[in-house]
Amino acid sequence: MDDLNSTRRRPGRPRAADMAGTREVIVRAATKLFARHGFDAVSVRAVAEAAGVDVATVHHHAGSKAALYQACFAAVFEAERSALEPVIKGAYDMQGLHRVLDAFVDFLQERPETTGLWLRRWLDPDRHAGVDEQYSTPLYEQVQAVLAAAHRAGVLHEPQPHLAVRSLIWAVHAHTVTALHGEVTEDSRFALRAFVHRWLDRMYGQP
């Protein structure tokens, strides 16, 4: 009986699920603020207000502002990785590459704050070392590897997969900037999707 009592949750102690949920709310609120205003312009108090908690709760769940900033990148990376990795692994031909594009466009349309977060970070490239290597490069390299393998197999001709991947990714990011301000219409969403597929076909499609 004593052992059972010792494992019970103490009165007032938050459940693990509640703590995880609070942290997620804080990180999502911080991501949107950092995406719009950048690291320096966002205070912990502003994050607390946006998340509906107090400052002490933000510090408890996320640590310092710098740690919270890193957590925002980690969260968007995990979401993007979950969306893209399944289709990247199956991208052995042109149809597979088209599926990767669809997944990427869908992800950024659902999470436009991802674009804002990265744009703000690259405006200050000397700070927050390691963010790119941890939360950007891994997915870039996976897509580059797919293009390189397709090039070796003769499926398409792309001697510079590094340039191809980054060029198209940032074409999509550039369009997504408008979504941060609520300026994207259904027509523009359709136009972007049609553009990226047209680009892929004209770059690598059979003549």
- Lowest-confidence segment of 16-30, 106-120, 126-140 by average pLDDT: 16-30
Residue 121 scores a pLDDT above 70: yes
Ramachandran quadrant class, 52 (left: phi over 0; alpha: psi -120 to 50; beta: rest): left
Q: What is the value of pTM for the model shown?
A: 0.84
- CB atoms inside a 10 Å sphere around CB 29: 21
Which CATH number covers residue 110? 1.10.357.10
- The pLDDT mean for the chain works out to 86
What pLDDT, in 10s, does the model give residues 134-155? 999 999 999 999 999 999 988 8
pLDDT at 187: 79
d(C-alpha 183, C-alpha 57), whole Å? 34
- CB atoms inside a 10 Å sphere around CB 157: 9
Report the alpha-carbon angle 34-136-193, nearest 5. Answer: 85
Range of the domain at 99: 2-204
What pLDDT, in 10s, does the model give residues 1-44? 343 343 333 444 445 446 678 999 999 999 999 999 999 999 99
175 versus 106: the higher-pLDDT residue is 106
Which two tokens mark 197? Answer: 């597929």
* Count of domains observed in the chain: 1
d(C-alpha 122, C-alpha 21), whole Å? 29
